[in-house]
Amino acid sequence: MSDEPVTMPEGEDAVAARRAAEALIVDVDGYEGPLDVLLTLSRTQKVDLRRISVLQLAEQYLAFVERARALRIELAADYLVMAAWLAFLKSRLLLPPDPTEEGPTGEELAAHLAFQLERLQAMRDAAARLMGRDRLGRDFFARGVPEEVTMKRRVRYTATLLDLMQAYARVRTRDEFRPYAMEREDVLTMQEALEALRPLIGYAGDWRRLSSFLPPEWRGDPVRRRSATAATFAAALELARQGAVELRQEETFAPIEIRRRGERQ
């Protein structure tokens, strides 16, 4: 960004004026936004930022935008928004205040713009002072050979009483430590059913319902009963396959009946 004051006299020094204008426009990307342009323009007034003539500033800026457009150079929306706002501000400053109108007065808006410009300038000065300070790694230095602080890790183990009790409960219920196996408590295996059925079948010369062969202790609980029924049925099939028994069923879902084979009456 050029620090030279930007003036745009009409007529005479047309070349210089155009160059100044072009510098501005061509550098429009170099500017950090419309506030930056305004700050640059305000410097031509060579007064305290708090006392700049916002009206004059608005005129300079509008002229700048006008020239940019005359040169068919596209301006970013930010710049045009600022131009529109400054035109509005200019009208407010020029016209006598309308007491019926809401919102801030032209003076208030102008004062705010002056504040913004002053604040931006102040931040730039502050940034320059900051960067001008003695800096680490350039003007002052840290230790060249920092010594490694070795981290000795000491592990402290903890457990709570709850952990202890839960652990014991876990062990005692064995619900997680036993090698995995199906719970067999309520399952009558076919082998067991076969062993139960085989001695009984000797007495069954007549057709009898298969359900009557369920071991008595497996009849009450429905879960146990289901398992025993399935096992006994499978055992009966096995005995039939071996030729020891005959099976029959009157119709679908009717009770299955069983009798010893070979001894017809």
Q: Which of residues 54-93 bind other proteins (CB under 8 A)?
A: 78
Contacts by 221-230 with C-beta closer than 8 Å and gap 24+?
A: 221/186, 223/186, 224/186, 224/188, 227/186, 227/187, 227/188, 228/188, 228/193
By CB under 8 A, what part of segment 112-131 binds other proteins?
Answer: 112, 115-116, 118-120, 122-127, 129-131
Nearest-angstrom CA–CA distance, 114 and 106:
12
48 binds other proteins (CB under 8 A): no
How far apart are CB 120 and other proteins at their closest, in Å?
6
Sign (positive or negative) of CA dihedral 28, 30, 36, 42? negative
Nearest-angstrom CA–CA distance, 258 and 246:
6
How far apart are CB 255 and other proteins at their closest, in Å?
29
CA distances 228 to 74, 181, 202, 214, 236, Å, are: 92, 20, 20, 6, 12
136 binds other proteins (CB under 8 A): yes
Q: Which is nearer to other proteins, 18 or 124 (CB)?
A: 124
Binding mask 15-44 for other proteins (x = CB under 8 A): -----------------xxxxx-x------
How far apart are CB 182 and other proteins at their closest, in Å?
11
How far apart are CB 104 and other proteins at their closest, in Å?
4
By CB under 8 A, what part of segment 148-177 binds other proteins?
Answer: 148-175, 177
Nearest-angstrom CA–CA distance, 201 and 246:
11
Non-local (6+) Cβ contacts of 221 within 8 A are: 186
146 binds other proteins (CB under 8 A): yes
By CB under 8 A, what part of segment 208-247 binds other proteins?
Answer: none
# of chain residues touching other proteins (CB under 8 A): 77
Among the residue ranges 40-48, 67-75, 101-109, 194-202, the one whose residues contact other proteins (CB under 8 A): 101-109
How far apart are CB 148 and other proteins at their closest, in Å?
8
Angle at 59 between CA 67 and CA 29, to 5 degrees: 50
How far apart are CB 254 and other proteins at their closest, in Å?
33
Three-state secondary structure call for residue 259: strand
How far apart are CB 144 and other proteins at their closest, in Å?
4
Closest Cα to residue 2, out of 34, 45, 37? 37
Among the residue ranges 8-16, 93-101, 145-153, 236-244, the one whose residues contact other proteins (CB under 8 A): 145-153
Three-state secondary structure call for residue 142: coil
Q: Which position has the token pair 């903890």?
A: 158
By CB under 8 A, what part of segment 173-202 binds other proteins?
Answer: 173-175, 177-178, 183, 185-186
Q: Which is nearer to other proteins, 54 or 201 (CB)?
A: 54
